[in-house]
Amino acid sequence: MNLFIIDSLFSRLESLTLNSISTYKLLIILFYLKSLPYLSSLSICLNNCSHDLGDIYQIIFHLSLKYFRVAVPRHPHLCITIPIVAQNQFSSIEYLFIYHRCTFNQLTIILLHTPRLSHLHCFNIIESKDHSKSESMIKLHSLTHLTMTLYNLEFDDFEEFLLKLCSPLQLFDAKIKSRDRIYLNADRWERFISQNMTSLIRFIFRYSDIIDDEFELTFYHSLINRFTSSFWIDRKWFFKLFIEEDELIYSIRPY
């Protein structure tokens, strides 16, 4: 894509998709997008990420967007540095789709900038190496749809994150790959949903248990039959266990 200057021809542009673009070109284009008052939807797919991705997010947060989708394929290690949000400096984004690797702490900072979210989809969330935790309540009071794919994250940390959202979730969809078998504690899920997800309609859950030399049955494996209790049956959320290649898959889906 050639670099260009936004002029009056694009003044009423509402939606823009940028595919296979470098961070260098993207940063230049984003500067000119500020002059488009009607732009509400932006989708980006980067072909490399030589810059701090936080620089891109900070510009995005200042655009008048409702929908933002960002993908960075084949980049396992990304630098995402975003300062804590300043007072009254919040993004207008309501639909956020994150298709790149992101630590839990990085995601938390992003969400502090986007309090108007109604739909959040993030597909490569990993454990934070520094283990420092933000004490800030994220408070996404409009968030009704949450879809996440998590890797190597402990259940206690995930539960704490969900509590901080303060969200009236109607759809919860989580795919999890982790050694922490507490995710299989149906009674704990039931208690959490009953107390903190009172608006929930659809619960979709998939936990992958890797079958390798380290695999062993635990106390939590003995509890999986609790996913067939009346709590789950009454809501028409049905449990299924199956083998897929070298993984045991524990799945719950609406009927």
Per-residue pLDDT of the chain (255 residues; tens, 9 = 90+): 444 556 667 778 999 999 999 988 999 899 888 888 899 999 999 987 778 899 999 999 999 999 999 999 877 678 888 887 655 578 999 999 999 999 988 999 999 999 999 999 999 999 877 655 655 678 899 999 999 999 999 999 999 999 988 899 999 999 999 989 899 999 999 999 999 999 999 999 999 988 877 777 778 788 889 999 999 999 999 999 999 888 889 999 998
Structural domain for 225, as ranges: 78-254
What is residue 7's predicted lDDT score, i.e. its pLDDT? 61
Does residue 106 lie within any of the structural domains?
yes
CB-neighbour burial class of residue 153 (10 A; exposed 0-12, middle 13-18, buried 19+): buried
Number of compact structural domains in the chain:
1
Does residue 116 lie within any of the structural domains?
yes
Does residue 72 lie within any of the structural domains?
no
CB-neighbour burial class of residue 104 (10 A; exposed 0-12, middle 13-18, buried 19+): buried
Does residue 242 lie within any of the structural domains?
yes
- Cα dihedral 5→10→14→16 (10° resolution): -40
